[in-house]
Amino acid sequence: MISKTAFTKAQPVWPQGLAGQMNTWVSFHARVELKARSRATLRLAAATIYRLWVNGELAGHGPARTGHHHARVDEHVLTSPSTGVIELVIEVSDYGVPNFVAPHEPAFCCAELVVGRKVLAHTAARGGGFVAERREERVQRGERYSYQRGFSEAYRFSAEGNFWLAYGYAPRAPLPLGRVSYARTWLRRGMDLPEFPVLRPAARVKFGKASHSSQSAAAYTPMTYVSDVPKTSLGWPLGEIEWPFFGLLAGLRWRDQGAGKLARSGAFTLKAREWRLFDFGAIHTGFLAAKLRATKPARLVLLFDEALTDGHIGVTKAALVNGIRIELAAGAPLDFMTFEPHTLRHLQVLVWEGEVSFSDVRLIGFRNGHAIGDGPKNLPTVERMVRRAAVATFRQNALDVFMDCPSRERAGWLCDSLFTARAEWHLCGDNPIERAFLENYLRPAKFNGLPRGMVPMCYPAEPLQGQFIPNWSMFFVIQLDEARRERRLPKDWRPLIERRVRGLVNYFRQFENEHGLLEKLESWVFVEWSKANDFTQDVNFPTNMLYAATLRAASRLLGDERLAKKADRVNAAVRALAWRDGRFVDNAIRAKDGNLTVTDNASEVCQYYAWFTGQLAPTEEPALWRRLVRTEYNGLYPANAFVGKLLRLELLIDAGEFAAARRELLASFAPMARQTGTLWEMLDASASRDHGFTSYVAVLIDRLAEAKMRR
């Protein structure tokens, strides 16, 4: 995977004077003349995000993310038109702030266009054929989109619109470029490029007018990542933001005036305070786009979400700002497209000032393009619907890393990744994204901001406020072991795996108590999204069950039988302390006198951890198992979708309880599939409704179908 010679001539560059600034946007331009219908290859790497245009058409969005001091190189195969001219525009946006999406490292663009072995244009501090220009159209001083991501998108367009994409454009104010000397190792992308299907909303729309209540806006407390800057999140204080967005959103009041179909052309005009509400029929991820023309200077907002709140877009969510701000001068049409992908089913377009004509409202999808079949033949209608939703969830969350959600975070989380990796292997027949995901964790020499030996809970990212989940590092070891045994990992990774796994084993040793159990782990000890997470200290038994499984996986990865014997001792200690009244309890507390007191707290998910981790063999404790199969949860705090119910479904299928598994799978996930066409983070609608780990449901459906065929 490593290539130190990914580029022949190209140098990583960035405009002098913009280095280290927050929320910058730069366009790099090159023009090359070839013979008609000639093939060329564009090698491209950038940070933080790039968008590629070839002769005015969208051709790419990236990069594939990777770890600190590394960069993945995309290769775009291009064909020159009949004129032979290829005009390249590479737009690069840099967050300039720590986040969960990508490493917080110096911005750069590194590109070269190659025909055979000949480099026709390349980025360089001087010469090379690429010229850079700062894109002032993006409002730099904006609010953060979320705690986990960068800045919300805000734009200020002149009467010329997005003129820099026009054929034949030559930068008017080229910037001096400097070579970025930050050390990086080039990695090949190693996986498919994304696809960009064009999606259009239903023709029937709601319409009405909006008003604003300053009193309501003043009474609403902004999210801390907006209001508590830079303490909670790096950014600009509210008083320094151009056209503050949150105050506008918090005071919005909607008035419905009816519904109807758009004209066949899809064109409509909105005056000040008028809005239209669109429905894309299901949750999709992509780039919002529309053709706009202001007949008079205007301000408009594009508001979007996965679901409606009281019939409209809910604009005061605590976790993110789902809105785009646009200022338009009166003049030529603008074919607008958001720079970053967003996740939505509903779009509400509001003109706040002026008058704007719209046409061709659409979403340019951003998803995994691997061919995926329909699954087993003769699947019942409901199962097929849920499977389609699982596949749609996979496509939106598995592009370059395994994301938890494509909206609020776009982060590559461990634990989630184990289930999405299983889905990738099953649906695609290979695991290139998993290999890239794991490689990201293996390559960096160290992870700044974390204790020695620990790995990030999500990556590539920064450990915001130094937080990590020790449990997720255990899932990392378990996934490495499973991937090596059941899927594909490069053999030359062995030294990297041994270094990382040994570091984790050494880290956890310091927390072992007199029973050999982990006690008072640091940071965020996480079991699942349920009451079980209230019982994570001082000794958490699900965590120690996971620890034993981790030691067993580490024993195989390192060839160290001592770790397997240690796992046996951990399992024995858990059994001796936690097995009470026919079920496992969740935790024990260290009293002031130094004694360890086992509590009576018992959760449903704790029981599933016991079988999942090997604490119990499949045939052990049949009375507890039959109780759980019959859903007799009395005395157990209920589990949630992540991860308890997913573990439960897997265990039911493994045990041959196919009728119970099918019944519960459809009861949990069919309502989600019907409502959004995707599968959710929680059993209710309180969180993300498009969550990567639930793509594993497709695997479970197929396993049920195969079992049915065998019977």
pLDDT score of 317? 62
pLDDT, tens digit, 9 for 90 and up, residues 559-591: 999 999 999 999 999 999 999 999 999 999 999
Same domain flag for 119 and 208: no
Q: Name the CA radius of gyration of the chain, rounded.
A: 27
Identify whether 154 is part of a domain.
Answer: no
Alpha-carbon span 130 to 121, nearest angstrom: 7
What is the separation of C-alpha 476 from the centre of its chain, rounded to a whole number of angstroms?
18
Q: Is residue 152 part of a domain?
A: no
Expressed as residue numbers, the domain containing 623 is: 381-710
Please tell me whether residues 171 and 228 are part of one structural domain: no
Residue 6 has pLDDT above 70, yes or no: yes
Q: Is the residue at 104 inside a domain?
A: yes
634-686: pLDDT as tens digits? 999 999 999 999 999 999 999 999 999 999 999 999 999 999 999 999 999 88
Q: For residue range 482-519, what is the model confidence (pLDDT) as tens digits?
A: 999 999 999 999 999 999 999 999 999 999 999 999 99
Residue 5 predicted with pLDDT over 70: no
> Is the pTM above the cut of 0.85?
yes
- 317 & 402 share domain: no
Domain count, the chain: 3
Per-residue pLDDT at 2 exceeds 50: no
Q: Tell me which of 222 and 587 has the higher pLDDT.
A: 587
Residue 261 lies in a domain: yes
Which tokens in the block code for residue 196? 């960009």
Judgement on whether residues 361 and 284 belong to the same structural domain of the protein: yes
- 404 is a domain residue: yes
CA dist list (Å): 484 to 66, 374, 434: 20, 28, 11
Asked whether residue 615 carries a pLDDT value surpassing 70, the answer given is yes
> In CATH, what number is assigned to the domain containing residue 233?
2.60.120
1-10, 256-265, 279-288, 372-381 — which is least confidently predicted?
Answer: 1-10
Residues 442 and 339 grouped into a single domain: no
Which tokens go with 239?
Answer: 């008083």
Positive or negative CA dihedral for 90, 93, 98, 99? Answer: negative
Say if residue 550 is in the same domain as residue 687.
yes
Q: Distance between CA atoms of 97 and 105, rounded to whole angstroms?
A: 9
pLDDT tens sequence across 58-75 = 999 999 999 999 999 999
Eight-state DSSP code of residue 645? I
Q: What is the pLDDT of residue 228?
A: 83
Contact predicate 366/58, CB 8 Å? no
Angle at 439 between CA 436 and CA 441, to 5 degrees: 120
Question: Is the model's pLDDT at 4 over the cut of 60?
Answer: no
How do residues 323-337 score in pLDDT, each as one tens digit? 999 999 998 899 999
DSSP designation for 408: T
Residues 180, 221 within the same domain: no
pLDDT value, residue 400: 98
pLDDT band at 710 (very low <50, low <70, confident <90, very high): confident
**270 pLDDT above the threshold of 60:** yes
Kindly state whether residues 34 and 53 are assigned to the same domain: yes
Express each pLDDT in 126-163 by its tens digit: 999 999 999 999 999 999 999 999 999 999 999 999 99
Does the pLDDT of residue 214 top 90, yes or no? Answer: no
**In a shared domain, residues 506 and 611:** yes
Q: Say yes or no: 184 and 261 in one domain.
A: no
| Pair 361, 280 in one domain | yes
**Residue range 425-444, pLDDT digits in tens:** 999 999 999 999 999 999 99
Q: Which amino acid is at 664?
A: E
Q: Is the pLDDT of residue 3 over 60?
A: no
User: What's phi and psi for 76, nearest 5 deg?
Assistant: -105, 120
Report the CATH number that the domain containing residue 121 is assigned in CATH.
2.60.120.260
Share of the chain above pLDDT 90, in %: 89
Same domain for 125 and 80, yes or no, is yes
